[in-house]
Amino acid sequence: MESIKTDLLVIGAGSGGLSVAAGAVQMGASVVLLEGHKMGGDCLNYGCVPSKALLAAGQAAHAMQAGAAMGVTPVAPDVDFAAAKDHVQAVIDTIKPVDSQERFEELGVRVIREYGAFTGPQTVQAGAHEITARRIVIATGSSPFVPPVPGLEDVPSFTNETIFDLRERPEHLLIIGGGPIGMEMAQAHRRLGCKVTVIEGQKALGRDDPEMAAIVLDRLRAGGIVIEESATAEKVSGSNGNIEVVATDGRVFKGSHLLVAVGRKANTDRLNLDAAGIESSKAGIKVDARLRSTNPKVYAIGDAAGGMQFTHVAGYHAGLIIREVLFGLPAKAKTVHIPRATYTSPELAQVGLTEVEAHRKYGVKLEVARFDYHHNDRAIATGHVTGAIKVMVVGGKPVGATIVGHQAGELIALWSLAIANGLKMSAVANMVAPYPTFAEINKRAAGAYFSPRLFDNAWVKRVVRAVQRWLP
């Protein structure tokens, strides 16, 4: 058994763990990084990267059929499904060197390709290595949650960890789960030539603003995706090419392949947390605002910390940990400025409070500024006129923003900036966006907030008339 002592031990080489390891070692700390599976974690290998690559392939196929209004004769795309998966793998392979063991070893990180388990408050065993660290960061991420539906364990099915290995195009893909993962995979597969049925126990995209989510769902249905809501799966049966899902209300859905996309669970089972005095729940490791576990020498970040499950949250947490561990400066994690996006077409993005949440919290103090895509000149020119933005404003400051439409995931970043820094709506109104761009949508939303104050205000009109009388 090799004994290793280090300043910092990072367990998990996903986006958060890699960011902590890279930052710490380059600032002079000794760092050991454990990874028992793939470098890059879920995001690179099974999540954000491959899903967006497959969506891009689907968009390329869709574009061949969508140009009639611009004078381009639609043609049926000849989709090579296996080649589309080759594209996905090529994207992963292009990014992979940035997350590779070789790169981190060149930076000075000791990389051990083993799973780790606690043997004491500051000690972890990983294979033939016993590591004692002054501080430990758990960044083990999450895995697909497979619900205990009778028959599911006996039926061939996929999760986001295995669906990208499928190289033969499914004739009819059944998807249990109507959240962001389910809807993204539904549209990608539909545009690549598959029949798709989404089976959702409650409301599809139910976490999002109902009005804005409905715009996405209407577009998905118009694209040929069947979305069945209030359909809780009660039983699954069948075999390859012939799968049947029965809902609690008796509805029966038949397809050739099955994807389960009902959520994720934190990866903590292997860690032997009790040996380190670390408490956890079904959601993940219990942490305080500084991301410390019940063992003050051990931190948890990203999905392992049981909060918002996004790659960019793990990256945000990593920055806080660097401040905490390397400089001993307390840093509290916040969620009000964390955006999220569903990368369907149209995209759906959110930061801060939704309209319903803001009404519940602020009541009559809330104002909602809105601007529709069909008034934006770039949207008109490119044919992306479906969409809208709503900004929830209290006391002149945005407390939330919802965007549905083309590039919503890009546009939402400005509102994250505003909320994170306590900026007023005037800061966005003062911004100058190049013309014509979708970025003007954000500025016009700010303008919509100020318009009634300027144009429908009798006092303003009186002041203007008075000034005009006195001007030479």
pLDDT digits (tens, 9 = 90+) for 236-265: 999 989 999 999 999 999 999 999 999 999
Given this model, what pLDDT does residue 459 score?
A: 74
Question: In this structure, are strands 2-11 and 31-34 parallel, antiparallel, or unpaired?
Answer: parallel
Residues 323 and 439 in one domain: no
Smallest Cα–Cα separation from 339: which of 362, 370, 308, 317? 308
pLDDT at 381 over 90: yes
Question: Taking a C-beta distance cutoff of 8 angstroms, is the pair 141, 303 a contact?
Answer: yes
Residues 370 and 428 in one domain: yes
Of 70-84, 229-243, 295-309, 456-470, the range with the lowest mean pLDDT is 456-470
How many CA atoms within 13 Å lie on the side-chain side of 40? Answer: 20
Question: Taking a C-beta distance cutoff of 8 angstroms, is the pair 311, 341 a contact?
Answer: no
Whole-angstrom CA distances from 448 to 215, 368, 379, 389 are: 21, 9, 18, 11
Nearest-angstrom CA–CA distance, 332 and 317 = 9
Report the chain's mean pLDDT, rounded to a whole number. Answer: 96
Residues 201 and 122 in one domain: no
Residues 165 and 185 in one domain: yes
233 beta partners: 247
Residues 128 and 274 in one domain: yes
Determine the structural domain holding residue 123 and report its residue range.
Answer: 2-39+100-144+265-327
Residues 248 and 347 in one domain: no
Residues 350 and 451 in one domain: yes
pLDDT at 411 over 80: yes
pLDDT at 95 over 70: yes
Predicted confidence band of residue 454 (pLDDT cuts 50, 70, 90): low
pLDDT at 357 over 90: yes
**Lookup: tokens for 314:** 């793990």
240 CB neighbour count, 10 Å cutoff: 9
How many CA atoms within 13 Å lie on the side-chain side of 414? Answer: 24
Q: How far is CA 345 from the centre of its chain?
A: 15
Predicted confidence band of residue 348 (pLDDT cuts 50, 70, 90): very high
- Angle at which helix 48-63 crosses helix 81-95, to 10 degrees, equals 140
Helices (H), 100-252: 101-107, 180-191, 210-222
> Is 205 among the domain residues?
yes
> Is 54 among the domain residues?
no
Q: Is 438 helix (H, G, I), strand (E, B) or coil?
A: coil
Given this model, what pLDDT does residue 467 score?
A: 82
